[in-house]
Amino acid sequence: MSQSAAERRASLPPTTLPGRPESAVDLWLGQQLRQLRKQHGRSLADVARACGMSLGLLSQIERGLSSASVKVLQLLAREFGVSVNSLLRNAEHTEGEDDGRVARAGTHRHIDLQEKGIRKEMYTPPACRSMDLCRASIEPGGSTGNELFVTGQGEQIGLVLKGSLELWVGDRVILLKEGDSFCYASSTPRRWRNPGSQTTEVIWAISNINQALGDDSQQAP
């Protein structure tokens, strides 16, 4: 069976991928699936074969570049010995209070990226359509990886609350310390890491042009 264009793109090396997640939900779900696969010591090819799906499609799902269907989620959940609900629990919006305008402590969506040393927490109340607020805790040496990435449209502003952050923006590298703030367009290629010996905490405010226009996609730092 011949591969689709999407599957052929997914099989290319990371530097050739567009790196634009479909939405924050797809991005976070993909990160959870990748973390589970790593915890089980399984390769992409092994899991794809066991679930009867293409390697390219699974790669795209883990990168947040494709949405996983209910059937695919059921297959992956069975393979990792977890429930579909547990996979979705941290990715779905809850209505919150006051028609979604309030999100109480303990209800925020979060994900632990253990292999990257990053924990993310989303503070955005469900009713907010054009902005997101995200906090990242980055362990010493933790990083987004060696490849630059981009995420859609809009702008992002960050504030280093604690520790230090090494930020690559295009071909520039900037060392940021506690109290420093920064900004960039979401379409700017970037990556970041914690070069220090203590946990770094950064909060991001993210504007989303697509949401302001009525698109449900969201972004991540």
Of 113-122, 172-181, 207-216, minimum mean pLDDT range: 207-216
Task: Give the C-alpha separation, 67 to 23, whole Å.
Answer: 9
Cβ pair 19, 60 in contact under 8 A: no
Cα-based angle 39, 44, 46 (whole degrees, multiple of 5): 90
- Beta bridge pairs of residue 182: 158
Give yes or no: residues 142 and 175 share one domain. yes
Binned at pLDDT 50, 70 and 90, residue 190 comes out as: very high
Boundaries of domain holding 77: 5-88
CATH number, domain containing residue 61: 1.10.260.40
148-183: pLDDT as tens digits: 888 777 899 999 999 999 999 988 999 999 999 999
The average confidence (pLDDT) of the chain is 79
Task: Give the C-alpha separation, 125 to 148, whole Å.
Answer: 29
Number of domains in the chain: 2
- In this prediction the pTM is 0.60
68-82: pLDDT as tens digits: 888 888 899 888 887
Give yes or no: residues 81 and 118 share one domain. no
**Nearest residue to 32 via CA among 158, 125, 118, 146:** 118
